[in-house]
Structure 1
Amino acid sequence: MNTFKKNQIIITALAIMIAIAGYLNFTDKASINEEKYVFNNNETDVSEEDSGLLVPNEEVLTNANVIEEISEEEFALTNETAIVEDEQNTVGEAVFVSSNSVDSRYFLEEKIDREQTRAYSMEILLGVINNEKLAEEQKIDAAAKMVDLQDRIEKEAAAESILEAKGFKEVFVRMDESGVDVVVNAEQLTEKELAQIADVVSRKTGVSAEHVVITPLKINK
């Protein structure tokens, strides 16, 4: 009995620490751009009826005591984004996808959406951990998923930071189970720039270059 209580305390403490770190990371990023962009955040309470909602590209939970892995279609860059077939790719090289220009708020909107999605996933995972009706194994699984999600958030941020430091003005990086999508504010990219981006993303995320998709998007002024 004492061992069970100790495990519960450890799991809850770990989850709370991760949730706080994720929340602080989200609020810091949002505050930087609050003067440039205003968005509506229509928050909804997670109840037994709506806790089965799916969150795109993230691992989320249902209220049926099951932690599900959601396999959704990857986020859309633009309607004109080309579909790259596997047989056209060279093993060991990043995939280059050509696309058109986008609205000036694209990068900010995508980052806000990503952070809101992650915050929602963290909230649901924390709810599972704090649910006294669930088995300890499920709580341990939820805690592990919180650690994995926080690790993904930190890797994306690290890759974006390094790329921007190397001169790429605006960068959006998103990881999922299939690989990493990288969007760069550029009309076109040279072979050298593509190799540089692929190298940074691969090193910072641990994902091999052939699973990195790079898309240049020119911002409309």
Structure 2
Amino acid sequence: MNKKQAFIIATLLVLIVCAGILATKVNSPLYVNGNDLGGQKSTFSLNNNKTSSSATDFFVEQKSNREHANATTTANLKALIDDQNASKEQRDAASKKYMTVTMAFQNEQKIESSLKAKSFEEAVCTINDDKVSVIVKSKEKLTDKQVKQIQDVVMSITKIKDVEIDYRQ
């Protein structure tokens, strides 16, 4: 590795750290309480209901973590695919893995959208090889009908039969 390549890698690492710091600041909770407004009434608050907020925070955090991991994985795979010093076998394997990861991410988003369309308030889905995990927001334990609905959505999109279903309040 020459000095130019080392400089490029160092610059990219600095940019990644900066992006992480910026993402942390941007994704911080938006909350305005009465004390922040000099005694005026708050007109905007995301924390009106503690249980609803914590459940929503869970789903937002899970999706954010998944998207971050997906972005990191796809960036690493793309770098390996584009690396001319890597063997053809390594690049082919990375290309296959890249396609698998991007398809899984797209399917996760499709499943979440479909579940929201089927009256689930919030959902987060993860696909790992031949297993799908789904967590939906529900005030009560899921009924057999709801479980069947979720399984049908997952099967229609992924063709995977092994589905783990859970709920959060």
TM-score of the pair, normalised by structure 1: 0.51
Alpha-carbon distance change, 205 to 102 in structure 1, aligned in 2, over 3 angstroms: farther
Matched, 1:181 2:133: yes
Corresponding residue of 1:139: 91
Aligned partners of 1:133, 1:166: CA distance in 2, in Å?
48
Which structure has greater helix proportion?
2
The CA deviation string for residues 152-189 of structure 1, in whole angstroms up to 9 with x for no partner, is 11111111111100100000010002401000101311
C-alpha contact (below 8 Å) 2:80/2:86 kept by paired residues: yes
Corresponding residue of 2:54: 103
Partner letter of residue 185 of structure 1? K
TM-score of the pair, normalised by structure 2: 0.66
Runs of 4+ aligned structure 1 residues displaced above 4 Å come to none
Alpha-carbon distance change, 120 to 157 in structure 1, aligned in 2, over 3 angstroms: same
Corresponding pairs, count: 122
Alpha-carbon distance change, 140 to 123 in structure 1, aligned in 2, over 3 angstroms: same
Matched, 1:114 2:66: yes
- Which structure has the larger Rg? 2
Corresponding residue of 1:98: none
Alpha-carbon distance change, 181 to 102 in structure 1, aligned in 2, over 3 angstroms: farther
Corresponding residue of 2:101: 149
Gaps of 5+ in 1: 1-33, 40-100
Q: CA RMSD in A?
A: 2.3
Structure with bigger RCO (C-alpha 8 Å, 6+ apart): 1
How far has the Cα of 1:141 moved from its partner?
1.4
Identity %: 30
Q: Match of 1:189, SS?
A: coil
